[in-house]
Amino acid sequence: MKMTEFIRQQKKLIIFGMIVIVIALTAVMAPQITHYDPVKASLKDALQAPGAEHLFGTDTLGRDIFTRVIFGTRVSLTSTLLLLGIVLVTGSFLGIIAGFFGGFIDTIIMRIADIMIAFPDMILAIAIAGILGPNLVNSITAIAIVSWPRYARLSRSLVLKIKNRDYIYAAYITGSKNGYLLKEYFLPNILPNLIVTAATDVGTFMLSLASLSFLGFGVQPPTPEWGYMLSEGRQYMQAAPWLMIFPGLAIFIVVSVFNLFGDSVRDLYNPKSTVNKIIK
């Protein structure tokens, strides 16, 4: 396929991919975008309405909301990516092991997964994050603990699907060791599917992390984080609505972009919609 053809067919993917890059750049370049300090209090500027000086207004400690929203991108993106990485690696590792070896290991891993899935996600995450103690690492841990079973189930089913294919037998008969089989045959086969699932999950993970911090079980002050900013702003809703409007808007926009991006990644991998159009 020629490059121009690819661009024409995947307009959606390229547009959203570019917006994702812009968001990532915002996180990296935060200090260049704004000249205010995201954490230093300046009480004489407290609770100013949005204007030319402070684009999104200031909070109760006189900190510039625009600056905090921009710096919040860093916290949100890094913690989401970290969480995604942990869940993807541990979940698929356990799932692959379970599917590949079967038997006792399979039973143990999958029964534990069953038990974790029996809890509504957020409830267990709230309990774990709260008990471990409120901070960013613990909130990531909590969501990872409740999220890995989905990836384990998915990767296990993918492994089982190809386990009895002839090329796997062929590789086995010709003397491939387990490690080699997993690395050279199974992983390349199931990785694309796992990555696509991860891409569609970015928005969800971001929302879960933000809601934990909103509840006070995540990032602690003075770190600029959108969920926590919302819960701070909540008390001043009547006098200073900008405190809760802009951080919320930031979450909404960034989550939307990542959801749209995830959807277009999925369409690229699994072009069901185009097939449907041809049939009709």
The yes or no reply on residue 259 touching another protein (CB under 8 A) is: yes
CB of 92 to another protein, least distance (A): 22
Residues 152-211 interacting with another protein (rule: CB under 8 A): 203, 207, 210-211
Nearer CB in complex with another protein: 36/56: 56
One residue of 100, 151, 214, 228 binding another protein per CB under 8 A: 214
What region, left, alpha or beta, does residue 47 occupy, with left being phi > 0 and alpha being psi -120 to 50 degrees? left
Inter-CA distances, 24 with 71, 75, 84, 112, 231, Å: 11, 11, 16, 36, 25
CB of 217 to another protein, least distance (A): 7
Residue 215 within binding range of another protein, rule CB under 8 A: yes
Q: Does 111 help bind another protein (rule: CB under 8 A)? A: yes
Q: Is 67 in the site for another protein (CB under 8 A)?
A: no
Q: Residue 90, by phi and psi: left (phi above 0), alpha (psi -120 to 50) or beta? A: alpha
Cα–Cα distance, 15 to 98 (Å, whole number): 39
On the 0-12 / 13-18 / 19+ scale of CB atoms within 10 A, 166 is exposed
Q: Which helix H or strand E contains 221, and what residues bound it?
A: none
Minimum gap (Å) between residue 227 Cβ and another protein? 8
Cα–Cα–Cα angle for 60, 65, 71, rounded to 5 degrees: 125
Is residue 234 close enough to count as binding another protein by CB under 8 A? yes
134 and 218 Cβ atoms separated by less than 8 Å: yes
Q: Which residue has the tokens 């913690």?
A: 79
- Pick from 42, 107, 157, 256: which binds another protein (CB under 8 A)? 256
Question: Closer to another protein at the Cβ: 129 or 194?
Answer: 129
Which residues bind to another protein, rule: CB under 8 A?
Answer: 111-112, 114-116, 118-124, 126-128, 130-133, 203, 207, 210-211, 214-217, 227, 230, 234, 237-238, 241, 244-245, 248, 251-252, 255-256, 259-260, 280
